[in-house]
Amino acid sequence: MSAMMQPPQSRPLEPADLPLAPAYARLGAPFHQPVAATPLPEPRMVHFNAALASELGVDSECGLEFVEILAGSQPWPGYASSASVYAGHQFGHWVPQLGDGRALLIAEVRTPAGQRIELQLKGAGPTPYSRGLDGRAVLRSSIREYLGSEAMHALGVPTTRCLSLVASSQPVVRETVENAAVVCRTAASFVRFGQFEYFAGQGRTGPMARLADHVISEHFPHLQGRPDRYAAWLGEVVERTARLIAQWQLLGFCHGVMNTDNFSVLGLTLDYGPFGFMDRFRQYHVCNHSDYEGRYAYSAQPEIGRWNCERLLQAVSPLLADGPEQAAEIGKDILQRYAPAYHQSVMRGWADKLGLRELREADGKLVNEFLGLLQRSRGDFTRGFRLLARIRTSSDAPAKGVREEFADIQSFDAWAADYRARLRSEQNTDDEARARRMNRINPKYVLRNHLAQIAIDKAQLGDYSEVATLAELLRRPYDEQPEKESYATEPPDYMRNIEVSCSS
């Protein structure tokens, strides 16, 4: 083969190889301000998400230029980074101006599949909305967001995702002195409820309409041109939000900071701060020790989702009709779509977790009785549902390997009898097929707080191996993975009460 016919040498793909697709950037002021990232000194890659990189069209062996961009040391070629302004209700209290205090939009790209994706650096330094703070993220919280968002994605929950996690020895003061880190997170859009609230609070309908038209054009194109496009769009936002929170409930996931500025208009799980998957089931579990009143407890999440949608509808009401009374009526009608969307999603989800093909009116009682058993027995939420796949309708013998999880075995046996009867009432009952279905619905592995903490402790000593182990494990949450059996067990007693707060 001649030199002219030699294949080109392969090289890592650089950012310039990804086609830019600016849309949000074109909105300009007053929606966002240009801000350059503050370089992270002595950056080192903790983990790079090769699977997500492939979806974006990036080689898993990212080049040096890309690493520098992910650390905030270089801008994305041809794109000016920016920080968005928004407002929000934080723990129920109105705050008229917030904004991206430590996040920067660094690029909008077109993937090989044709999807437009936005990339943000979180922890890349101060912005005009940092309120005098350093704009940095710490390694501890960055590991939790990196692993948490990818775990949720693998569980099938709409969410932002993380491409990379870069750490530094730069000290950052929180409750203690910690090390700085930057995550690059991605989403189709980072527009949130609070952006509409910001302009509503200032009485600026024009910018609010421009932002709504941008969201509809980019993400709800089937609604463009309709005279009722704003109402139709908001109806979809309300229903997406309801379905999202139903998924959270079905997984025992607690967000921790369900402020309106942390709610996505695309129905994505956004802003992983103090979040957590429940170990022992508690109806009133609060994952954020900064939430002193339990506003965002597990049981409160569905109603808070509705409350947040109501705040969004109030903010955009000038777009719904010329008169306030008519706009309020339209908004009220839209909000009424939340409850049935949530109920349908959550009840279908509970039925699936129990392996029920049909959904019947009395199934809610069966679910609530099982949750009551878990709570009284201080049973593990994830393990409890996973183990139900072992129950057989072909026998009335005690469900060994399941009943032992419950302190009140007699009550469990009584419930199991009702459960078997309900399963047998469906035609063509096949225990093995049902078990396979249930194991595709009930995960074996979730990001338990103690698992994240072990990875954090090692990473703070310079050992990133456990971050990699968890990243790989959580990509397949429904698979048995026998070599990782210990990752599916409850935490040891000394790690049961790990606290996460708003600095997490």
Q: Is 102 flagged in the annotation as binding?
A: yes
Q: Is 134 flagged in the annotation as binding?
A: yes
Dihedral angle computed from the Cα positions of residues 244, 384, 408 and 282, in that order, rounded to the nearest 10 degrees: -30
Q: Is 192 flagged in the annotation as binding?
A: yes
Could you give the count of Cα atoms lying within 13 Å of 261 in the half-sphere of its Cβ?
Answer: 21
Q: Environment class of residue 292 by beta-carbon count within 10 Å: exposed (0-12), middle (13-18) or buried (19+)?
A: exposed
As given in the structure block, the two tokens for residue 350 are: 């509970």
Q: Is 156 flagged in the annotation as binding?
A: no
Q: Is 63 flagged in the annotation as binding?
A: no
Q: Output b/e per residue, 459-486; b: 16+ Cβ within 10 A.
A: beeeebebbebbbebbeebbeeeeebee
Rounded Cα–Cα distance for residues 123 and 211 (Å): 25
Query: What does residue 391 show for φ and ψ, rounded to 5 degrees?
Result: -70, 135
Query: What does residue 356 show for φ and ψ, rounded to 5 degrees?
Result: -90, 125
Q: Is 135 flagged in the annotation as binding?
A: yes
Contact status, residue 55 vs residue 106, Cβ threshold 8 Å = no
Q: Which has the closest alpha carbon to 135: 29, 199, 40, 242? A: 40
CB-based contacts of 69, cutoff 8 Å, min separation 6: 15, 75, 76, 106
- Indicate the residue type of 225: G
Question: Among the options 100, 228, 261, 396, which is catalytic?
Answer: 261
Q: Residue with structure tokens 């701060």?
A: 273
Q: Is 185 flagged in the annotation as binding?
A: yes
Contact status, residue 485 vs residue 434, Cβ threshold 8 Å = no
Q: Is 288 flagged in the annotation as binding?
A: no
Q: Output b/e per residue, 359-392; b: 16+ Cβ within 10 A.
A: eeeebeebbeebbebbbebebbbbbbbbbbbebb
Q: Which has the closest alpha carbon to 28: 141, 105, 95, 92? A: 105
Q: Is 442 flagged in the annotation as binding?
A: no
Instruction: Determine whether 261 is an active site residue.
Output: yes
As given in the structure block, the two tokens for residue 195 are: 């952006």
Angle, helices 338-353/363-377, rounded to nearest 10 degrees? 70
- Binding-site positions for ATP read 99, 101-102, 122, 134-135, 185, 192, 271
- Binding-site positions for Mg(2+) read 262, 271
Query: Which residues are part of the catalytic machinery?
Result: 261
- Binding-site positions read 99, 101-102, 122, 134-135, 185, 192, 262, 271
